[in-house]
Amino acid sequence: MSFSTITPAELKKRHAEDPSLEVIDVRMPNEFGEVHLTFAQNVPLDRLNPHDLLSNRNGHAGKPLYVVCRSGKRSEMACKQLVAAGYRDIVNVEGGTQACIEAGLPVIRGQKAMSLERQVRIVAGLLIVTGVALGYLVHPGLFALAGAVGAGLMFAGITDSCMMGTLLAKMPWNQAACSGPSCST
């Protein structure tokens, strides 16, 4: 069993026909707060609980569930989780929120937020510079900090999962209120 995909233009048409269609946005709350579809609920990927989502689909049971993120990668991961949990009629929105904006779908804009990817680059760079400075000024063994961060970045690139990103996602500044089912954690 798998999921289907839809273009933002087709989503716009379907929303015009049925304004009650259900869309979940799986980005982090701070990203969602920056810009999101007016009719989307925020259910961050790291908090996605397919069983809770299924039990909270009041009035939407038997209808498609549309999933969107920034560009389509996280929504694809969410679709795979939902299908693995037994969901049927899961639809990934191609190109994500960016493509939806370009297609003219209605959005709500909030304050600009620093992306998680940018936060990871800042912290990784800071740890590397600190490791090199401490290795030079204090003890050569502290160069290992820079090496460990480099190895972590390499591992993140190979596995497409980033432990530093996961930790930063849990920081208070990235935890704005979320608006969808399974957001209580």
Q: List Cα–Cα distances, 162 to 42, 45, 59, 115, 182, in angstroms.
A: 22, 14, 37, 14, 23
Residues 137 and 88 in one domain: no
- Flag whether 181 is in a domain: no
Using one digit for the tens of pLDDT, what is the confidence trace for 130-166?
999 999 999 999 999 999 999 999 999 898 888 898 8
Residues 11 and 101 in one domain: yes
* Least confident piece of the model among 20-24, 105-109, 113-117, 152-156: 113-117
* Least confident piece of the model among 56-70, 111-125, 165-179: 165-179
Residues 102 and 130 in one domain: no
pTM above 0.95, yes or no: no
- Flag whether 183 is in a domain: no
Residues 10 and 68 in one domain: yes
Residues 122 and 71 in one domain: no
- Flag whether 94 is in a domain: yes
Residues 11 and 53 in one domain: yes
Residue 69: active-site member = yes
Residues 100 and 9 in one domain: yes
Element (H, E) at 37: strand 35-37
Total number of domains in the chain:
2
What is the reported pLDDT for 54?
76
Q: State the residue range of the domain holding 154.
A: 116-173
Query: What CA–CA distance (Å, rounded) separates 68 from 84?
Result: 18
Q: Which of 69, 100, 162, 178 is catalytic?
A: 69
Query: Roughly what angle, to the nearest 10 degrees, separates helices 143-159 and 116-137?
Result: 150
Residues 60 and 137 in one domain: no
Give 55 or 80, the one with higher predicted confidence: 80
- Report whether pLDDT(185) > 80: no
- Flag whether 179 is in a domain: no
Query: End of a domain among 113, 140, 159?
Result: 113
> What CATH number does residue 82 fall under?
3.40.250.10
- Flag whether 12 is in a domain: yes
Using one digit for the tens of pLDDT, what is the confidence trace for 56-92?
776 566 789 999 999 888 999 999 999 998 888 999 9
